Amino acid sequence: MFMELKDRLKKTRASRQMTQKDLSDAAGISQARLSAIELGKNKRPTCVSELATALDVCAVWLQTGEIIATSKDDRTDFLYKLISSLDESDKIREIAYLEKLLSDRASE
């Protein structure tokens, strides 16, 4: 059975016995935004990392359903393929997000 982001999100939230309010608070997003994602109205949310952290799951798995290998080389290869598969505007947005993460970590 094919599961979309909305299905993985809802199922994982339920398995953690969290309400939408619990998860939205933990992820720092509005409950309305979470509801829209779970209803499939927002198929490419920008808060997947925050949701994954709040649920203690892999963000790549939450977004794509794919489990990436644990070695650094396999993860790098997978992320390269994932970013390459995006359309140009999504690619630019995701690369900017990754650059911000790296910059934030470097300043810590």
Instruction: Supply the Cα-derived Rg of the chain in whole angstroms.
Output: 14
- Provide the pLDDT for residue 6: 95
Q: Domain check: are 12 and 54 in the same one?
A: yes
Please classify residue 18 by burial: count the beta carbons closer than 10 Å to its beta carbon, then call 0-12 exposed, 13-18 middle and 19+ buried. Answer: middle
Provide the residue range defining the domain that includes 59.
Answer: 5-64
- Provide the pLDDT for residue 68: 67
Q: How many CA atoms lie within 13 A of 84 on its CB side?
A: 6
Tens digit of each residue's pLDDT (9 = 90 or more) over 41-90: 987 888 998 999 899 888 888 988 887 655 566 667 777 777 788 888 88
HEC string of 62-96 equals HHHCCCCCCCHHHHHHHHHHHHHCCCHHHHHHHHH
Neighbours of 63 (CB within 10 A): 19
Give the predicted TM-score (pTM) of the model. Answer: 0.64
Contacts of 79 (CB under 8 A, 6+ apart): 60, 68
Q: Domain check: are 12 and 47 in the same one?
A: yes
Domain count, the chain: 2
Tens digit of each residue's pLDDT (9 = 90 or more) over 20-44: 999 999 999 999 999 999 999 987 8
Task: Report residue 107's pLDDT band, with 50, 70 and 90 as the boundaries.
Answer: confident
Q: Domain check: are 60 and 11 in the same one?
A: yes
Q: Domain check: are 50 and 77 in the same one?
A: no
Q: For position 21, which CATH number holds?
A: 1.10.260.40
